[in-house]
Amino acid sequence: MHDGERRSNQVQAITGVREMIPAMISDREFALFQELIRREAGIYLAPTKKPLVVGRLNRRLRELGLTSFREYYDLVAHGGDAEERVRMLDRICTNETRFFRDSRHFEFLEHQVFPQWVADAAEGTRSKKLRVWSAGCSTGEEPYSLGMMLLSHFPVSSGWDVSILATDLSTRVLHQAAAGVWALVRAEGIPPDYLKRFMLRGIGSQTGKMRACEELRALISFQRVNLNAEDHHVCGSFDLIFFRNVMIYFELDTKKRVVDRLVDRLDTSGYIFTGLAETLNGITGRVGSVIPGVYSAAPRPHVDSRTAGARRANGRFCRGSSK
């Protein structure tokens, strides 16, 4: 090999290595992204989240041919590219969920709320129209879990009109949720009778996957909503608002502002749900605690979560009188 060819190969090798080396972020650059993301989405990134920012945004820098985080910041903050700002937030968001997560919430609905609503409707003291909002729906396991329960307890054939609005900041997870397709391993936690009724098993090229049936998919509409925005274009009132494991990303002022807007949308006889590690105490005085992570629009007597409904020995949910 000639010296010239050897040097050329060395340059190519060095260039290839350089392309693989991730960009590093300075404290100043991280502070800029901290403020931008807090301002746009209300999400607070602690200093310990610097590796997360680097890990999740580096690939996008490479895709755009950028060599520094400052270049990328200038693009999303000053470049006038709103779509790129959305892509950035997509990559920053952490989306973790599963079907029937935090089972005591679904038990509370199953054994306390739904029977009361059915009785009230029979007596003519409440409407048969139900609206539910899953705020922070991720890849859809939460709204689809709610949908299975609602269709079972409030059938259209009995005159019920049920709808679910599922929203998230991330367009990426919303696309996944709207498709209603998951790996079969994600079925863990779905009661067998719900699984049989509402999920279709894939065959052929779809082997190993499941898809929500048409009846269930038709119940849910998906929309990108930034809960931190002054006007998130969600109108009307809701009987149930699921706002679980979202506040952990917010600072106190943001929590108060976001929760206040959510409560504005809660029906006077409705309930709002938070993550079990979250609380609305000190956030708002407009709701009353019922059981951990569940609040009513008007303060009500405390319900012992241990009596909120007996659980099956295997941890599945009972369907009561539903067939």
Catalytic residue annotation: 56, 168
Nearest-10 Cα torsion for 207, 210, 211, 213: 110
**Positive or negative CA dihedral for 146, 152, 157, 159?**
negative
275, 244 in Cβ contact below 8 A? yes
90, 138 in Cβ contact below 8 A? no
CA 144 to chain centre: 12
Nearest-10 Cα torsion for 242, 248, 254, 256: 60
SS3 204: helix
268, 296 in Cβ contact below 8 A? no
d(CA 306, CA 308): 6
d(CA 43, CA 251): 8
DSSP H/E element including 145: helix 141-153
- Residue 295, number of CB atoms within 10 A of its CB: 27
Give the type of residue at 133.
W
138, 186 in Cβ contact below 8 A? no
How do 294-296 and 288-291 pair as beta strands?
A: antiparallel
130, 155 in Cβ contact below 8 A? no
